[in-house]
Amino acid sequence: MGRWEPDAAGRLREAAMALYAERGYDGTTVAEIADRAGVTARTFFRHFADKREVLFAGSEQLERHMVEALAAAPADATPMEAVTAAVLATAEFFDDIRRDYSRRRAAVITSTPELRERELIKMATLTTSLTDGLLERGVAPDVAALAAETGVAVFRVSFERWIAAPDDVPIADVLQATLKTLATLTA
């Protein structure tokens, strides 16, 4: 396929993460990322819309997965039950291998305003998708929006906790714990 080695996008992702972690986002140029990945800057922009997007490559996949889990929930499930299924489905994306990457990624994002902006809009998009999924299940608009918002909040909080947790704690446990906390809060 490629002119040389395969998986240029993957190499670009790794190169970007390494350089962002090492020199910071602002201190890294696209040309440097491309060099390290063995391609040109032009190729970088063929794989990623901009310099930020390289850190959010998996997000569409995750979103699709959550929406599918939402749709796959039993027809008689309550809105919150369906959302819970979608949230729990994220566990399949974050195994122990991804944890180290996730940690470094989170560190870079929180320290870079431009990247925090991008993350916020990704979360907003995710919320919209889940809301739409609930609407297709016949959920009332108000309830759908609120349930989706809550689900994304649970995912966000859980993800942060998982990153900060010891290495032997799987994300599934954290998600369950967060959902339990939510239940006690609203009880």
Partner DNA sequence: ATCGGTGATGTCAGTCAATGACATCACTGG
Partner DNA sequence: CCAGTGATGTCATTGACTGACATCACCGAT
Q: Which residues bind a copy of itself (CB under 8 A)?
A: 113, 116-118, 120-121, 124, 142, 185
Write down how long the chain is: 187
| Distance from the Cα of residue 133 to its chain's centroid | 18
Query: Minimum distance from CB of 21 to DNA (Å)?
Result: 16
Alpha carbons 43 and 105: distance in angstroms, whole number: 22
| 113 contact choice in DNA, a copy of itself, none (CB below 5 to 8 Å, kind-dependent) | a copy of itself
Query: Minimum distance from CB of 117 to a copy of itself (Å)?
Result: 4
Q: Is 46 helix (H, G, I), strand (E, B) or coil?
A: helix
What would the 3-class secondary structure string for 137-153 be?
CCCCHHHHHHHHHHHHH
Q: One symbol per residue from 33 to 72: x for binding DNA (CB under 7 A), - otherwise; what is it?
A: -----xxxxxx-xxx-xxxx--------------------
Residues that contact DNA, how many (by CB under 7 A): 22
Alpha carbons 59 and 62: distance in angstroms, whole number: 5
Check residue 121 for interaction with DNA (CB under 7 A).
no
Alpha carbons 71 and 3: distance in angstroms, whole number: 40
- CB-wise, 7 or 96, nearer to DNA? 7
Q: Enumerate binding residues for DNA (CB under 7 A).
A: 1-4, 8, 28-31, 38-43, 45-47, 49-52
